[in-house]
Structure 1
């Protein structure tokens, strides 16, 4: 589905995930150490408490928004058209409202780094529970990832993780230069939202 609800859901999901990822990457112990090193001269008590609790608060808010996204997600309407499952409309005011607030505060999806690309590829290739090592290579528009060891009879697939939005697409095994050219063309003809 590629209607308004899917587009809005993708916009909000990318931004919420970006904020949650930034908070998860923050080290609470380092924040506490810096706050302790400032002593009484650095911040007023309210600002100090806010900084100390910011990571936890951001994680709580993004978890709450994730609940909103799970309710207001795309689905098929009674006539086969796309609707929001939460409100039953083709133009979800909730998703647009959240997207507008995030845009007003300049929340943008993070670019995907090598570690995040590996995490997404690992989750994809190991989703069925049998862990396998995952290889990864970077190119201009993203990352190519593959199972280092394939099961007998398994068709090799390469997962491409977009470097801008983190979207994962599956590709046949190609040399990295060829894959980079093909993915660059794919990206020009299928621009990711956001």
Structure 2
């Protein structure tokens, strides 16, 4: 695996972990801790109450680190880590090894969740529910209103499969939008 592929995979793991924590219902965790059905000890209860926030904070910190340790061309036209100046970044390798050691995997967004996120976005933009079409592609989903209400932009909303991020795009045809999104993702890694 190339150094860039390792970084891309590590970034995807961190984003997936952050997305999983964002999906967790903090009120449900608090309710579970308050009810304490299994007689959990104080340390476990504290972790139950703070684990989501801790995961989000740790994921944000790792995202910052991986943002600095990205690959590009140096002044000598070598492909290196822009933070370290070396071809195989030890920081990226260490983060990747730790995530692997703890069994951190990617949990991609599925079609129903993509629809739910798009439905919430379009309903908020229009002020009422909007009938949607959802198209799947390798890197995510494209949501479009079946008929565009005047209050909703006639655009494609992309839901990233790995992160769940929503990005509004111009009203390109599907093939063009997929190509543009692929180029965008490659430029931000």
TM-score (norm 1): 0.64
Displacement of 1:75 in angstroms is 1.6
Q: Does 1:51 align with 2:45?
A: no
**1:170-189 paired onto structure 2 within 5 Å:** 173=173
- Residues 104-123 of structure 1: matches in 2 within 5 Å? 104-114=101-111, 115-116=113-114
Distance (whole Å) between structure 2 residues aligned to residue 162 and residue 49 of structure 1: 32
Asked whether the 8 Å contact 1:109–1:165 carries over to 2, the reply is: no
- Structure 2 distance, partners of 1:144, 1:59, is 26
Count, aligned residues:
160
CA 1:69–1:29: 2 relative to 1, 3 Å? same
- Counterpart CA distance in 2 for 1:21 and 1:166 is 7
Alignment of 1:13-28 (within 5 A): 13-28=11-26
Task: Report the equivalent of 2:71.
Answer: 74
Q: CA deviation at 1:158?
A: 6.6
- What residue in structure 2 maps to residue 4 of structure 1? 2
| CA distance in structure 2 between the aligned counterparts of 1:77 and 1:119, rounded to whole angstroms | 39
Question: Does the residue aligned with 1:110 lie in a helix, a strand or coil?
Answer: coil
> How far off is 1:146 after superposition?
4.5
Kept in 2: contact 1:77–1:83 (CA 8 A): yes
Structure 1: segments with no counterpart, 5+ residues: 124-130, 150-155, 184-194
RMSD: 3.9
Residues of 2 paired with 1:29 and 1:139: CA distance?
31
Query: Which runs of structure 2 are paired with 1:116-131 in the superposition (5 Å)?
Result: 116=114
Q: Is the 8 A contact 1:135 1:146 kept in 2?
A: yes
